[in-house]
Amino acid sequence: MVPAARITPAPGPALGPGLEAVHVIAAFSRPGELVVIPAAGTGALLTAAAAAGRRVLGLFAGPAACHAAGLRLDWDLDPAVRPLAQARAGGPALLLEAGCPEAEQAALAITGRGGPGGGVLYAACERVLRPGGVLAVITASTPRPAGLRDDPGEVIAAARAAGLIYAQHIVALHAAITDGQLLPRPQDASPDETAGPPAVHARVHSDLLVFTKPGTPASSAGLKGFQPEPEGPMR
């Protein structure tokens, strides 16, 4: 049985991946639970998760990116919630190491498509998720000179190969709906797109693919490292 897809319109003319991830954090985790970003990029998602009261671990490709993310967290987060966010260098492969303290502890993992095949990335997500935990993958069909690459199809195959269950497909629109017409905004090319002729189709949506780890969820209070929702103002 194929999971049902639903369409989520943007609240304005565009809905970017950052805002999508904020909604994902609110929908699939609770304050005090662990959220893991296995390929954290700029670190913006760590800020969003910690500001929402989640413990969050972000993994970065190297020490320089990790250090920059730490500085951003120091700047962006209220000191009361700054301890909730951790940045660690080494990438998703760290989650596969023996003795990984976060193994089977995360309520939620958030990532993009990842590299070809995505074997290490999705295996790392499966390892870090607790039973019943959720993997959210934000992606899109990437324009190429020869046509569109089927990113959602590749993600579903790789996540299933890692032992995760495909649960839902949510389509997030990146365009306003006016008089029954989709009005896309001009967009820059994605970093992983190759040079070539202009794409025939404008990108008007991204795909949020939701997977779960088999098993019955544990209560939050029973998980290692659980912390109650922090008190005091958050900015």
Taking only the tens of pLDDT, the chain with its 235 residues reads 445 444 444 333 333 345 677 888 999 999 999 999 998 877 888 999 999 999 999 999 899 999 999 999 999 999 999 999 999 998 899 999 999 999 999 999 999 876 655 689 999 999 999 999 999 998 765 555 555 556 788 889 999 999 999 999 887 665 566 666 656 555 543 333 444 444 445 555 678 899 999 987 655 444 444 444 444 443 3
Pick the closest to residue 54 from 217, 232, 222, 226 (CA basis).
Answer: 226
In this structure, CATH architecture of domain 5-217? 3-Layer(aba) Sandwich (3.40)
> Do 159 and 166 meet the contact criterion of CB atoms below 8 Å apart?
yes
Domain residue spans of the chain? 5-217
Q: Look up residue 84 and give its amino acid.
A: L
Residue 100's CB is within 10 A of a number of other CB atoms, namely: 14
Pick the closest to residue 151 from 118, 110, 184 (CA basis).
Answer: 118
Distance CA 46, CA 21 (A): 10
pTM, entire model: 0.74
